[in-house]
Amino acid sequence: MPYLHLRLAAEASDTLAERTSAVLLEHTTALLGKKPEATSITVEFVDPRRWRIDGTRLADSGRRAFQLDVKITDGTNTKAQKAAYLRRVFDDMAALLPGLDPASYIVIDDVRADAWGFGGRTQEARFIDSQPL
């Protein structure tokens, strides 16, 4: 049950939103083992005139950038899985965003199971209910 929030320093584009969402869903499913039906992705576009790296507006530098925040349940993925995810997502984003600045970030938040959930139930409650008596 991950929640992903992608910010792109780019002109708003339905096509780019679809392509980036597809990449994120693919890797979140394949590399992190998350269920696609419980994966929520938000894509937000930020005007490159309002995004700065090293004090320079991306609109002036011709570079592009992104920030990805991913929330997953603590303890459900290994360091190796998360490292592979970061590498694959970054590489695919670089292919979709020519001129991608390396100061584009992916943050995976491991959230305690009792601190979040969906459908009105915490992840901890779902885990407890899944255990045999």
Task: Read off the pLDDT of residues 62-101 as tens digits, 9 standing for 90 and up.
Answer: 999 999 999 999 999 999 999 999 999 999 999 999 999 9
First to last CA, the chain: 24
Output the pTM of the full model. Answer: 0.91
Query: Residue 41 half-sphere exposure, CB side, CA atoms within 13 Å?
Result: 22
Residue 23 pLDDT grade (very low, low, confident, very high; cuts 50, 70, 90): very high
